[in-house]
């Protein structure tokens, strides 16, 4: 499923927004996979991660969503500590037996150093926020969805007039998300709420198999609850923004898995 059983039902997501030139996005994704595969040590408390590239709207070119059981775990997470730990282990192994480019499947310390430098070069222009997640109450999906695809993720960011952000969240779920998943083309969806950093009060997300299904879902094949917007829009404060992303990879079994079969 989109958010696997290893992710806590109630926790947080640390969202990192990268501003990367379009012609460098592919290089970043390749380097991100290499970096994550090295740095995902047992000491880290990452429960899941999903990465998306931008397709439409005025948003950031790459979004990395990393899930933790608590805000403390998110704040204390240090991927570079994991990277250094892996580098040290490789260094000790090389000192004992050397390293053979033809037979060794792990990265050499020289390769790790190059990967680390390349990854650091992408970090100059990014921002972060932490958001609350509650998959028990604020997420629904169709059963047995294959999420290892380049599915479409549509994101809507809104501020609320009320201090009770669940009014805004649940009114949208009742209006759009639940009927879209139960009766329509939507694979899954829900919302998160702001915890720290710069971000909107409520962030809705909706997943579709492809762009054609998304277009149909909001036009000819819409199954939104009739009149449901009457409960939602009065809760909205100010302007909102919408973005469309494409899923490019996620963590699976301790490694970063590029979207698609055999990746």
Tens-place pLDDT, residues 222-240: 999 999 999 999 999 999 9
Whether the CA torsion 198, 203, 207, 212 is positive or negative: it is negative
pTM, entire model: 0.92
pLDDT at 183: 96
Write the CATH number of the domain with boundaries 10-50+58-127. 3.30.70
pLDDT at 92: 83
What is the rounded CA–CA span in Å between residue 34 and residue 176? 38
79 vs 58, 119, 202, CA distance in Å?
29, 12, 27
Domain locations in the chain as residue ranges: 10-50+58-127, 135-247
Q: What dihedral angle (degrees, nearest 10) is formed by the CA atoms of 17, 74, 246, 141? A: -140
CATH 3.30.1330.80 for domain 135-247: no
pLDDT at 1: 41
107 vs 38, 85, 120, 148, 178, CA distance in Å?
8, 13, 18, 26, 45
Give pLDDT < 70 ranges for the chain.
1-8, 96-105, 263
pLDDT in tens, 49-105: 999 999 987 889 999 999 999 999 999 999 999 999 988 988 887 776 654 554 445
pLDDT at 91: 85
List, in sequence order, every beta strand (DSSP E) within the chain.
10-18, 48-56, 62-68, 126-134, 139-141, 152-160, 188-197, 202-208, 236-252, 255-258
Domains 10-50+58-127 and 135-247 share a fold: yes
- The whole-angstrom distance between residue 99's C-alpha and the CA centroid of its chain comes to 35
């Amino acid at each position: 499923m989109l958010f696997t059983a290893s992710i806590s039902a109630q926790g947080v997501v640390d969202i990192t927004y990268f501003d990367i030139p379009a012609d460098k996005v592919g290089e970043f994704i390749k380097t991100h996979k290499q970096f994550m595969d090295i740095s995902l040590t047992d000491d880290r408390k990452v429960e899941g991660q999903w990465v998306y590239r931008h397709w439409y709207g005025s948003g950031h070119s790459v979004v990395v969503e990393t899930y933790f059981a608590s805000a403390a775990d998110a704040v204390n997470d240090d991927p570079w500590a994991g990277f250094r730990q892996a580098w040290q282990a490789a260094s000790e192994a090389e000192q004992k037996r050397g390293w053979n480019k033809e037979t060794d499947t792990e990265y050499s310390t020289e390769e790790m150093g190059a990967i680390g430098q390349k990854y650091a070069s992408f970090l100059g222009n990014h921002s972060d926020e932490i958001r609350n997640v509650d998959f028990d109450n604020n997420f629904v999906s169709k059963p047995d969805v294959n999420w290892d695809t380049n599915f479409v993720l549509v994101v809507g960011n809104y501020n609320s007039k009320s201090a009770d952000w669940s009014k805004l969240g649940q009114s949208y779920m009742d209006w759009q998300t639940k009927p879209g998943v139960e009766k329509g083309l939507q694979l899954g969806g829900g919302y998160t709420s702001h915890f720290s950093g710069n971000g909107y009060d409520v962030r809705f997300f909706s997943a579709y198999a492809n762009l054609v299904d998304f277009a149909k879902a909001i036009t000819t094949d819409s199954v939104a609850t009739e009149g449901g917007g009457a409960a939602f829009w009065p809760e909205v404060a100010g302007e909102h923004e919408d973005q469309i992303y494409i899923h490019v990879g996620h963590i699976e079994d301790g490694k970063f898995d590029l979207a698609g079969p055999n990746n």
